């Protein structure tokens, strides 16, 4: 079946630094990648949608200059959290689409 590999699974960074999260579709080409954020005991909230080779579309209220998304190929998308602050601490998860949605394993980001 379709597999999406997401790394790292956990990361702790200092306030003000940047963190990059990678999602790779291992056995299929993803036409679209969705990035979600999930705070404790809450639902998955869509941050942005990216298509290969084009700029990401961000949801209302999501700062595009803070959450940089690159979808350079049909198998790789990255989310970079720039100048991270404690309030950015959350569970970030990607979802690759090709005739269905396949989720990555998620990244637990803690900003200290």
Partner 1 sequence: GENVEQHPSTLSVQEGDSAVIKCTYSDSASNYFPWYKQELGKRPQLIIDIRSNVGEKKDQRIAVTLNKTAKHFSLHITETQPEDSAVYFCAASNSAGTGTASKLTFGTGTRLQVTL
Residues that bind partner 1 (CB under 8 A): 31-32, 34, 42-46, 49, 91, 93, 95, 97-101, 103-106, 108
Bridge partner list, 79: 21, 69
Nearer of residues 13 and 91 to partner 1, judged by Cβ: 91
Tokens of 91: 């569970």
Distance of closest approach, residue 67 Cβ to partner 1, in angstroms = 16
DSSP of 15-79: TT--EEEEEEESSS--SEEEEEEE-TTS--EEEEEEETTS--EEPTT--TTTEEEEEEETTEEEE
Of the pair 82, 97, the CB lying nearest partner 1 is at 97
Q: How far is the CB of 22 from partner 1 (least distance, A)?
A: 15
Say which DSSP state 11 is in: E
Which CB atom, from 62 or from 82, has the smaller least distance to partner 1? 62
Instruction: Please report how close the Cβ of residue 95 comes to partner 1 at its closest, in angstroms.
Output: 7
């Amino acid at each position: 079946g379709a597999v999406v590999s997401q790394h790292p699974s956990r990361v702790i960074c200092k306030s003000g630094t940047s963190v990059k999260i990678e999602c790779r579709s291992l056995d299929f080409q993803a036409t679209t990648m969705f990035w979600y954020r999930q705070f404790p005991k809450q639902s998955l909230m869509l941050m942005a949608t990216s298509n290969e080779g084009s700029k990401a579309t961000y949801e209302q209220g999501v700062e595009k200059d803070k959450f940089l998304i690159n979808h350079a190929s049909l198998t790789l998308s990255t989310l970079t959290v720039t100048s991270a602050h404690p309030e950015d601490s959350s569970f970030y998860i990607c979802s690759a689409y090709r005739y269905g949605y396949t989720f990555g394993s998620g990244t637990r980001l803690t900003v200290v």
